[in-house]
Structure 1
Amino acid sequence: MKIRIKGDSVRFRLTQSEVKSLSTNGEIYDSTNFGSQVFSYGVILTRDANQLRISFENNRVTLEMPETTGKVWFENDIITYDHTIKTTSGNELYLLLEKDFTCLDNTIEDQSDNYPNPKLS
C-alpha cells in the first residue's frame, strides 16, 4: 500500500493482493518505523460510511470506505473512489483510493502485484 499526502489531498494506492485482502478481511494496514515513533496508515470497511472518510489519531491515518462498496471492489473493474470532505477547521480535504497499476517508465520498485497498466495493451 502506498500513501501520498500533498497539501490537502491524501491518496492511497493498493496492489491486487491488498484490494483482495481489504475486500475479504475488511481492513488493511501498513506502517513506517521512524525509530522513536511509528507512523501507520490503513483502509477499513465501515458499515455506516456512505462515502470515503478519514481520520488521523495517534500517528495513524485511517481511510474508511463503505463496506458494501469495499466487499466487491476486488471483483469489479472500478479503479478509483474519491470524495472531498469539509474538515472541522473548514478546509476541503480530497480523498482518493485507487488500484495501483504498473508504471510505464522504468522503476526499481517491485511491481509484481500491481494491476496491469491498461496503456500497455
Structure 2
Amino acid sequence: MKIRIKGNTIRFRLTKSEVQRLCSTGHIEDKTEFLNQDFVYAVELSKEHDTQSVSFHDNKIICYLPYNIGHDWYNTNEVGFENVQKLTKNKTLFILVEKDFTCLDNRLEDQSDNYPNPKSTEA
C-alpha cells in the first residue's frame, strides 16, 4: 500500500493482493519505520461508519471505508472511493482510496501486483 499526502489531500493506493486482503479480512496496514517510532497507515472496512473518513492518533492514520461499499471491491471494476471529510467550519480533508495501476513509464519499483493501467496499449 502506498500513501500520498499533499496538504489536506490523502490518497491510499492498494495493489491487487492488498485489495483482496482488505475484502477478506476487513483491514490492511503498512508502516514506515523511523529511528524512535513507526508511522502506520491503514484502511479498514467499517460497519460503524456510513461515510469514508480518516482518523489520526498515535502516529497512525486509519481510513475507514464503509463495509457496504468496500466488502466486494476486489470483484468489481470500481477503481476507488473518495470523500471530503469536514474537519472544521473552514477545513476539509479530501480522501481517496484506489486501486494501484502500473505506471506508463519505466519505474524501478516492483509493479507485478499492480492493476493493468487502462491507458496502456497492452491493457
The count of residues paired between Structure 1 and Structure 2 equals 121
Using the TM superposition, give the Cα deviation of residue 35 of structure 1 relative to its aligned residue in structure 2, in angstroms: 1.2
Q: Where in structure 2 are the equivalents of 1:86-97 lying within 5 Å?
A: 86-88=86-88, 90-97=90-97
Using the TM superposition, give the Cα deviation of residue 50 of structure 1 relative to its aligned residue in structure 2, in angstroms: 1.8
TM-score normalised by L of structure 2: 0.95
Tell me how large the CA RMSD over aligned residues is. Answer: 1.0
Q: Which whole-Å CA distance do the structure 2 matches of 1:61 and 1:88 have between them?
A: 18
1:79 counterpart residue number: 79
2:54 counterpart residue number: 54
1:100 counterpart residue number: 100
1:63 counterpart residue number: 63
Q: Which whole-Å CA distance do the structure 1 matches of 2:115 and 2:100 have between them?
A: 6
Q: Which whole-Å CA distance do the structure 1 matches of 2:89 and 2:20 have between them?
A: 35
Q: Which whole-Å CA distance do the structure 1 matches of 2:76 and 2:116 have between them?
A: 14
SS at 1:111's partner residue?
A: coil
Using the TM superposition, give the Cα deviation of residue 88 of structure 1 relative to its aligned residue in structure 2, in angstroms: 3.8
Ranges in structure 2 where 5+ consecutive residues have no aligned partner: none
2:112 counterpart residue number: 112
Ranges in structure 1 where 5+ consecutive residues have no aligned partner: none
Q: Which whole-Å CA distance do the structure 2 matches of 1:114 and 1:51 have between them?
A: 26
2:14 counterpart residue number: 14
Deviations 1:57-84 (A, max 9, x none): 0000000000121110000000010000
TM-score normalised by L of structure 1: 0.96
Amino acid at match of 1:91: K
Query: Which of structure 1's runs of 4+ aligned residues deviate more than 2 A?
Result: none
Using the TM superposition, give the Cα deviation of residue 85 of structure 1 relative to its aligned residue in structure 2, in angstroms: 1.0
